Structure formats: C-alpha cells, structure tokens
Amino acid sequence: MADDTVVRRIESELRAARYGPIIKAAFTTAGLQLSEPQRLILVLRHEEDLQGVEIARLLHVHPSTITRHLQGIYEKLRGQILATLEAQHHLNAPAIEECLAEILAQPGACVPALFNAPAERRAAFRQLRAKARACVAR
C-alpha cells in the first residue's frame, strides 16, 4: 500500500495541474477588490512572514486590530474567490471544494497571485512591497 504522504502529494499535484491557473485567476480578481492597507497587511503577513504582533508594532496599532483586519481580509478574499470560481469559471461544488483543498495545501503559492494584475497594479504591488520592507527595516 502506498504511503499516505505520497498519495496526498500526488493528489495535490493533480489538483494543481487541473486547477492552478483557475485558482490564480480567481486570486488575481480577488486582489483587485482589496484596499492598499489590506494589501499591505497581507504583504507583511505572507510575503515578509511577520506575525500579527510584529505587524501591529510596525503599523502602530493594537495586535487585535491586525487580527480583526486579517479575518476580514480572509473572509472578503474567500467570498470573492468562491464567487469567481462559480461565476467566471463555471465550477460546480465538488470542483470548488477541490480548489479550496489546493489553496489550503499550497497557501504560499496563492498570495502572489493576488497581485498578478495589469502593469499598473504590479507597480503598485512593488511599491507596497517596498513600504513593507521599509517597515521591517525600522
């Protein structure tokens, strides 16, 4: 019998091959709906790998504020991504569940897709990343 870890890895690779481009497109669409402060918090959390307490210190807010913002951002992203998968890509419930499983299996691969947008949005993302790095350097 095959090792469960190997089976899960193969399943994840199959999901990524089947749904990867669709997931990235849905994340890109969702990223367009976020405000600059929301994107900055996501960059600090996922690109700079900072914890909520560290982000709060950098932004001069209480840690619970960052926790609430992240919860709201994740809810907004989830809603937008699900709507995009259903409406634009015409996926049914089982296919959407497979996409969600892939997102959960590879979360780090999805965040950059939030900022894969037209050139002006990519430039804005580079500026956000520079701001985030400047915050971290302080």
Residue 121 confidence (pLDDT) above 90: no
DSSP 90: -
pTM for the complete prediction? 0.71
Structure tokens at 123: 């430039």
* Selected residue with higher pLDDT from 79 and 12: 79
* Selected residue with higher pLDDT from 34 and 101: 34
* Selected residue with higher pLDDT from 8 and 55: 55
CB 89 within 8 A of CB 25: yes
* Selected residue with higher pLDDT from 113 and 18: 18
